[in-house]
Structure 1
Amino acid sequence: MGSKGNSKPESNLKHFSLVRNFYIADVITLMNGVCGVQSVFASMRYLASNDIGDLYKAMLFMPFGLFFDFMDGRVARWRKNSSLLGQELDSLADLISFGLAPSALAYAIGMRTYLDTVVLTYFVCCGIARLARFNATVAMAPKDATGKVGHFEGTPIPTSLSLVALLAYFVLQDRYMETLPGQLITFANGWDLHPLVLIYAVSGTLMISKTLRIPKP
């Protein structure tokens, strides 16, 4: 039977052909993901070491992730070689650096009850939904002459760094673990909640808002 289209025989495909197709902007995007993963690992190390230095590392990696998130779009527009692959990579990296990593940090500094984890899971799921919606609608969104989307629907997921900044302040003031602001509310036996975790619920809800529109810088 004849071959279909211009597909090449599998034997002719080169190893790591996907990586070879990456643009420079895609590599920068991956660095965002690297920062997010390292932040999560630092939070996990704190759980084992109780070394506050690990907490500071977890916090520090996230702004570095934001730097790479900022740069990948600029490089893509500068080189005029953005791709659908780059868009998907960007969303996956953002989910790790600005969704999972801030949640892991909250858990590490003391928001560890079952209800706390429910709220943190909600926050991450909002991030997933927000990024999926953006990817599904970005092609139809109004754009300027450079192809850049003019506004965000709902708060962009990197705004979670404002939560990280707040937690960093509390850690610097030695207000974490048993001394978290708001302490602990007990609803019933085994059903405890740190009121501070509700800032994650608010942030997640704002991310999935359909009516909230924020101009994109």
Structure 2
Amino acid sequence: MKKHIPNILTLLNLFCGSIAVILAVNNNFVASALFVFLGIFFDFFDGFAARKLNVSSELGLQLDSLADMVTSGLVPGIVMFKLLELSISDWTVTGMANDYSVPWLPSLGLLITLASAYRLAVFNLDDEQQAYFKGLPTPANALLILSLPLILEFQNNDSINSIILNKWFLIGLTLVSSYILNSGIKLFALKFKTFNFKDNSTRYIFMILCVVLLVVLKFAAIPVIILLYILMSVLDNLTTK
């Protein structure tokens, strides 16, 4: 029975992601983000459970990526699509029989979904990405994108809102997000082999800074935390060398 526990957690991740898709399509971004956060929670603990129970399997690896593709790949793509849609008007294209609207520019947001799929496929084939990641993990990228509607909803800052709803900012973020998912930058993984400070100093410092930033900046802290994660990883790589 214990061999099925990690897979059940993975399927719960997929379930949460599926609900998040429905909510995002219906412009309920806050609830969608909540289910993404819950899905990422299950995503973290399925791997943890597999290691602790010593029941890791190839099936679990493939299932995990399929679930991540929905929760951390499709949902952020849809959310970016919707945000771009808010920032511009649809272009109307006249067809042979009927007039129909094609949201050309918002469709660029789905580049995040395509980049996430490619990143997950590469991850499955790369045996090196156990102690560290190459490129930004899809859950971290999903948190980055999902933070935008939460900032709009809860931060109440007109200056920040105007930036987030600027189409050029959203297009730029889409391109940067798609690139960094598949970049060669080595990023440390939040996996603890031991709990002593010396071996995990970067992880402990990062987690403490995350808590401080979340308390001070609330949802606006999430983009800062992602940037901090990348910068600390680069610094850690230089220090190690």
Q: Same fold (TM over 0.5)?
A: yes
Q: What is aligned with 2:147?
A: 165
Q: What is aligned with 1:76?
A: 50
Q: 1:45 to 1:166 in 2, by over 3 A?
A: closer
Per the normalisation by structure 1, the TM-score is 0.70
Q: Tell me if 1:56 matches 2:30.
A: yes
Q: 1:137 to 1:110 in 2, by over 3 A?
A: closer
**1:111–1:197 Cα contact (<8 Å) kept:** no
Q: 1:41 to 1:31 in 2, by over 3 A?
A: same
**2:30–2:149 Cα contact (<8 Å) kept:** no
Q: Which amino acid aligns with 1:117?
A: S
Q: What is aligned with 2:7?
A: 26
Seq. identity, %: 28
Structure 2 residue runs of 5 or longer lacking an equivalent are 87-102, 191-241
**Separation of aligned partners in 1, 2:172 and 2:8:** 35
Which secondary structure does the structure 2 equivalent of 1:99 belong to? Answer: helix
Q: 1:180 to 1:36 in 2, by over 3 A?
A: farther
Q: Tell me if 1:90 matches 2:64.
A: yes
Q: Tell me if 1:213 matches 2:186.
A: yes
**2:76–2:113 Cα contact (<8 Å) kept:** no
**Separation of aligned partners in 1, 2:78 and 2:65:** 18
Aligned positions of 1:97-136 closer than 5 A: 97-111=71-85, 113-118=103-108, 120-136=109-125
1:165 is displaced (CA, Å) by 1.4
Higher helix proportion (structure 1 or 2): 2
**Separation of aligned partners in 1, 2:22 and 2:165:** 26
1:162 is displaced (CA, Å) by 1.9
RMSD of aligned Cα (Å): 2.5
Q: Where does structure 1 differ by over 4 angstroms across 4 or more consecutive aligned residues?
A: 173-176
**Rg: which structure is higher?**
1
Q: Which has the higher contact order (CA 8 A, sep 6+)?
A: 1
1:21 is displaced (CA, Å) by 11
